[in-house]
Structure 1
Amino acid sequence: MTLNELILKCKKQDSKAQEALYKQYSGILFAICLRYSPNKTEAEDNLQDAFITIFKKIEQYKAKGSFEGWIKRVTVNTVLQKYRKQKIYNIDDEERIEQEDEVTVETETVPLDFLLKIIQELPDRYRLVFTLYVLDDYSHKEIAEMLGISDGTSKSNLARARGILKNKIGNYNP
C-alpha cells in the first residue's frame, strides 16, 4: 500500500490503516517526543497524544509538502500545547538574560545517551526552548510565538539551559 493510499484510508478512519501508519512513523515521532519530554514515560504519553491528534486532524493534510513533515509538526505542536497548558513560563522580565553563552563541547567524548539524559533533566521551560532552538532550528521569534513568551524570555531560557548543560558536561566522568 502506498503512503497516499494509507493516508486516504486513515481519513476514512480505517483502523488497520491507522495501525500501519502508527507502525511506520512511531519510531520517528517517539524520538521527537523524547527530546521534548523529561522522561521516557512522558514521551510515550506524548506519542499517544500526538497520534490521537494526527488521526483527528488527518483531514487537514492536503498533500502540500511532505506527510512526514506534517506529522512531525503536529507532534511538536501537540507536546508544546500540553506544556503551555501547564503554564511553565511564569518568568518575570527582570530574570531575563540577554547574553547568550555559547557552549562548545567535543561531542566525541560525551556519549549520545548521556546528552539525551541531561537534556531531559532540564526544567521544562529550558528543555523546550533548547530543543526548539538547537535541535529543531527555530528562531527565538518563532519560539516566542509558539510558546506565548517574549523573545527575551526565549533567549534567557536558552542561555540558562546551555549553562546547566555546560556544567553537567563539565562534570561528566565516564
Structure 2
Amino acid sequence: MTEEDLIEACRQNDRRAQKTLYDRYSTVMYGVCKRYVKSPEDAEDVLVEAFYKVLTNLHQYKGSGSFEGWIRRIVVNESLMFLRKRHNFRLTLEISEVDQPTTTNVINRMAAEDILGLLSKLPTGYRTVFNLYVLEGYKHREIADMLGISINTSKSQLILAKKKMQDMLEDFGYPGLQKFNK
C-alpha cells in the first residue's frame, strides 16, 4: 500500500489502515519521544496521544512536504506539551555572556548513539532545548516561543547542555576528546 493510499484509507476511518500507519511510523516516533521524555512509560503515553492527533487531524495534511515530517512535528509538539505540564521552563538560569570555544565542538563529532545516551542524563530544560535546536533544527526564537522562555534562556540552556555533555564525556574517557578540546 502506498503512503497516499494509506493516508486516504485512514481518512476513511479504516481501522486496518490506521494500524498499518501506526506500525509503519511508531518505532521512529517513539525514538523522538524518548529524546524528550525520560520515562519509557511516559514516552509511550506521549506517542499514543500524538498518534491520536495524527489520525484525527489527517484532513489537515495537504500532501505537500514529507508525511513523516508532518507526523514528527505533531510528536515533538505533543512531547513539549507533556514537558510543559510537568516542568517549569521559566525557572531556568540565564547566562548573558559565555565564552564559547571557536574550535570544533566535540558534540558535533560524536556518534548518534553517544548523543542519545547522554541526552537521557541531561536535566529536562537542557535536553529539550538541545533536541529542538541541534536535532530538530529550530531557531532560538522558535524555541523560546514554544517553551515560553526568553531567547537568552534558550541560548544559555543550549550552552549549558553542551558543557554538561562534554563534562560527561570527559568523565567517561570518551576517545578522541582531547583532540577536539585543543
Please give the TM-score of this superposition, normalised by the length of structure 1.
0.87
Is 1:96 the equivalent of 2:94? Answer: yes
Alpha-carbon separation, structure 2, partners of 1:106 and 1:164: 11
* Deviation of 1:106 (Å): 7.6
Q: Residue 51 of structure 2 corresponds to which residue in structure 1?
A: 51
* Deviation of 1:37 (Å): 1.7
> CA offsets, 1:75-96, max 9 Å, x none?
111111111222421326xx31
Change (3 A) 1:100 1:6: farther
Q: Residue 131 of structure 1 corresponds to which residue in structure 2?
A: 131
Q: Residue 15 of structure 1 corresponds to which residue in structure 2?
A: 15
Alpha-carbon contact 2:90-2:149 (below 8 Å) kept: no
CA RMSD of aligned residues (A): 2.2
Q: Residue 106 of structure 2 corresponds to which residue in structure 1?
A: 105
Letter in 2 for 1:91: L
Change (3 A) 1:106 1:124: closer
> CA offsets, 1:130-151, max 9 Å, x none?
1111111211011111111110
Alpha-carbon separation, structure 2, partners of 1:62 and 1:100: 45
* Deviation of 1:32 (Å): 1.2
Please give the TM-score of this superposition, normalised by the length of structure 2.
0.83
Q: Which runs of 5+ in 2 are unaligned?
A: 175-182
* Deviation of 1:104 (Å): 2.2
Alpha-carbon contact 2:94-2:152 (below 8 Å) kept: yes
* Deviation of 1:100 (Å): 6.2
Letter in 1 for 2:31: A
Alpha-carbon contact 1:36-1:79 (below 8 Å) kept: yes
Identity %: 39
Q: Residue 67 of structure 1 corresponds to which residue in structure 2?
A: 67
Change (3 A) 1:160 1:34: same
The number of aligned residues is: 171
* Deviation of 1:16 (Å): 0.4
Alpha-carbon separation, structure 1, partners of 2:135 and 2:100: 17
Alpha-carbon separation, structure 2, partners of 1:126 and 1:132: 10
Mapping 1:159-170, distance limit 5 Å: 159-170=159-170
Change (3 A) 1:165 1:106: closer
Alpha-carbon contact 1:38-1:120 (below 8 Å) kept: yes
Letter in 2 for 1:104: N
Q: Residue 38 of structure 1 corresponds to which residue in structure 2?
A: 38
